[in-house]
Amino acid sequence: MRRRICVFCGSSPGVDPAHRAAAAELGRRIAEAGWGVVYGGASVGLMGAVADAALAAGGEVIGVIPRELFAAEVPHTGLSELHQVPDMHARKALMYDRADAFAVLPGGLGTLEELFEAATWNQLGLHGRLKPIALLNVGGFYDPLIHLLDHATSAGFVSPHWRATIADAATAAEVLDRLAAG
């Protein structure tokens, strides 16, 4: 059975071209490593960059998009599989089910929500097994979040064990290393 990485990222490209470049590099490296990609199904923004690069490298790419976002996120038409689901809850449930690990690129509120829900599902045992999570900290994008997680841990709200399940990495290669190590 093929192993898959669920990638959370923005449907926007952001303002820093380094974010798009990192998304493309991550998609390419996932495919070259023989992993599949599961993601939000869009052809735009960082999502589109991940999918395009993984497909160009011969990878499997599975998209999951809610009907309500078809116009806003512009579904990718060249994917290995595209699942149309009724809503965001169904989207996340299917993405989580099809993934063995999670990589998180820069993104907005939806990306942050997906990250924290996946981490919470790990903590509650809802994935059925621990699924590793790695932040791709492009140009320090996630430094404030990493600081907040560390602060919540030192304040006694996040156990060191669960804090350790959210790794951070500076490069796509490092993300893959951390996710492969589990």
DSSP output for 14-30: -S-HHHHHHHHHHHHHH
Angle subtended by helix axes 172-181 and 17-32, to nearest 10? 40
- If pLDDT is split at 50, 70 and 90, which confidence band does 5 have? very high
Distances (CA, A) of 53 to 6, 28, 133: 15, 5, 21
Backbone dihedral region of 34: left (phi > 0), alpha (psi from -120 to 50 degrees) or beta? left
Q: Which domain holds residue 38?
A: 4-181
Residue 79: both structure tokens together: 């994917």
- Name the pTM for this structure: 0.95
CATH number of the domain enclosing 95: 3.40.50.450
Q: What is the per-residue pLDDT across 119-160, written as a single tens digit (0 to 9) for each?
A: 999 999 988 889 999 999 999 999 999 999 999 999 999 999
Beta bridge partners of residue 135, listed in sequence order: 104, 168
Q: Where are the alpha helices (DSSP H) in the chain?
A: 17-32, 45-56, 70-73, 88-98, 109-124, 143-154, 160-163, 172-181
Count of domains observed in the chain: 1
Q: What is the per-residue pLDDT across 73-106, written as a single tens digit (0 to 9) for each?
A: 788 999 999 999 999 999 999 999 999 999 999 9
Q: What percent of the chain has pLDDT over 90?
A: 88
Average per-residue pLDDT for the chain: 94
Q: How many CB atoms lie under 10 A from the CB of residue 57?
A: 15
Residue 71 is predicted with a pLDDT of: 66
pLDDT at 1 over 60: no
Residue 159 is predicted with a pLDDT of: 96
